[in-house]
């Protein structure tokens, strides 16, 4: 029987340490009430008279960690594959590693079972802290706070994938800059609308999340177009990402698109009237607003005009053809504000830390006692 008591002792000690770092030390956040965008004037990231586009993909996995993680290609193969398709901005987002050969330095943070992942752009360093099991909103907020301190642009990766972030959570969390709405592992349009409806300025990013560039079903199944010149500087790219000068595309065909497809020639707000012009007709054009509701639809056209009402807090445009879906970042009333990190509920945080630490101490005491007696 000694082996049983010894195992129990180890289990208690493990639980004591695990709970201490993943539960006891997690603060209780005081989340703000969602406050939809408001104001008389509109913020439009696409205000330029004529829009110029450059293609981007910031979620690509190379072969790394000795082949332990899912990724098959070298950075040179990756760059060649994307450059062939005219992708100008390339970010290799290895798990927990800043690839020195990535043109845009970033990494994908997260090693938990729930796929709660974040893309960290231009990071100072890789953060290893994570909560391995299913995460509460407070644990997710703590991780965002940690990442916020070490990278200037934090993106919520693929929220729909295993429902890693729900729409309700994205409407309360603070400290993130954008949402990866389109991803081969799950598109998260409803979650995005929930975040936007809560007054969080979260531009769209769209990525194929490639693990093997030689698989034509993976490559460019989704991509982002930036409203900047392909020859723009990195500083211009940084500010364009923050400003929301992005359109997400989804390829509805099984292999990369090679034919021309509708792009946005103009997206303008004149007073309260939204004017949209495409480079070629789409089967349908839609305007989406607060709560993800459809505000306007136009069929078989390259133009759309919509007069915003006072109920419209944000507006974004979607275009559909048999080959592609396109989603613009939102135009919003007032300023493109993002929530700061929330404050703490001090009494609850205090009592939780004390209570959980006592529990961990008791478990450690029992575990230590069992091991001392039966070894």
User: Where does this chain bind Zn ion (CB under 5 A)?
Assistant: 117, 157
- At closest approach, how far in Å is the CB of 158 from Zn ion? 6
- At closest approach, how far in Å is the CB of 116 from Zn ion? 9
What does the block give as tokens for 310?
A: 């006072």
What does the block give as tokens for 74?
A: 């070298």
Nearer to Zn ion, 117 or 160 (CB): 117
For residues 265 and 37, what is the distance between their CA atoms, to the nearest angstrom?
26
Give the closest residue to 332 by CA, choosing from 320, 350, 310, 315: 315
Nearer to Zn ion, 61 or 316 (CB): 61
Nearer to Zn ion, 118 or 329 (CB): 118
Output the CA–CA distances (angstroms, integers) from residue 69 to 62, 107, 108, 259, in the order listed: 9, 13, 12, 34
Give the closest residue to 171 by CA, choosing from 148, 141, 126: 141
Nearer to Zn ion, 117 or 222 (CB): 117
Nearer to Zn ion, 117 or 245 (CB): 117
The closest residue (CB) to Zn ion is 117
**Tokens 């360093």 -> residue:** 125
- At closest approach, how far in Å is the CB of 62 from Zn ion? 14
For residues 343 and 181, what is the distance between their CA atoms, to the nearest angstrom?
27
Nearer to Zn ion, 130 or 318 (CB): 130
Nearer to Zn ion, 160 or 286 (CB): 160
- At closest approach, how far in Å is the CB of 245 from Zn ion? 24
Q: 37 near 314, Cβ under 8 Å? A: yes
Give the list of residues 6+ apart from residue 18 with CB closer than 8 angstroms, or none.
none
- At closest approach, how far in Å is the CB of 88 from Zn ion? 23
* Residue 66, SS3 per DSSP: helix
Give the closest residue to 129 by CA, choosing from 155, 115, 110: 110
- At closest approach, how far in Å is the CB of 126 from Zn ion? 15
Give the list of residues 6+ apart from residue 54 with CB closer than 8 angstroms, or none.
88, 89, 225, 226, 228, 229, 230, 232
- At closest approach, how far in Å is the CB of 165 from Zn ion? 12
């Amino acid at each position: 029987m000694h082996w049983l008591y010894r195992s129990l002792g180890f289990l208690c000690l493990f639980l004591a340490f695990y709970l201490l770092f993943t539960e006891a030390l997690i603060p209780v956040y005081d989340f703000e009430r969602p406050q939809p965008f408001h104001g008389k004037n509109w913020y439009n990231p696409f205000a330029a008279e004529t829009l110029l586009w450059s293609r981007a993909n910031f979620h690509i996995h190379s072969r790394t960690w000795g082949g332990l993680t899912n990724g098959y290609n070298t950075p040179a193969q990756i760059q060649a594959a994307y450059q062939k398709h005219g992708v100008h901005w390339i970010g290799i987002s290895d798990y927990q590693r800043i690839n020195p050969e990535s043109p845009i330095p970033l990494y994908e943070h997260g090693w938990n079972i729930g796929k709660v992942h974040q893309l960290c752009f231009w990071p100072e360093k890789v953060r290893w802290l994570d909560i391995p099991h299913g995460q509460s909103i407070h644990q997710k907020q703590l991780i965002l706070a940690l990442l916020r301190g070490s990278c200037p642009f934090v993106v919520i990766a693929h929220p729909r994938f295993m429902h890693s972030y729900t729409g309700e959570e994205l409407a309360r969390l603070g400290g993130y800059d954008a949402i990866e709405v389109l991803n081969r592992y799950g598109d998260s349009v409803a979650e995005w609308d929930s975040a936007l409806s809560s007054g969080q300025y979260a531009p769209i990013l769209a990525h194929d999340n490639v693990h093997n560039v030689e698989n034509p079903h993976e490559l460019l199944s989704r991509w982002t177009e930036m409203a900047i010149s392909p020859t723009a500087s990195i500083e211009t790219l940084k500010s364009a990402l923050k400003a929301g000068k992005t359109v997400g595309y989804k390829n509805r065909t099984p292999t990369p698109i090679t034919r021309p497809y509708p792009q946005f020639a103009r997206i303008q707000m004149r007073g309260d009237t939204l004017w949209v012009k495409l480079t070629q007709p789409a089967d349908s054009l839609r305007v989406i607003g607060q709560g993800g509701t459809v505000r306007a639809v136009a069929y078989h056209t390259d133009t759309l005009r919509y007069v915003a009402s006072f109920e419209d807090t944000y507006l974004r445009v979607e275009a559909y053809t048999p080959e592609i879906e396109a989603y613009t970042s939102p135009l919003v009333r007032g300023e493109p504000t993002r929530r700061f990190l929330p404050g703490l509920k001090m009494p609850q945080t205090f009592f939780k830390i004390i209570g959980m630490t006592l529990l961990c101490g008791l478990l450690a005491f029992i575990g230590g006692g069992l091991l001392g007696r039966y070894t």
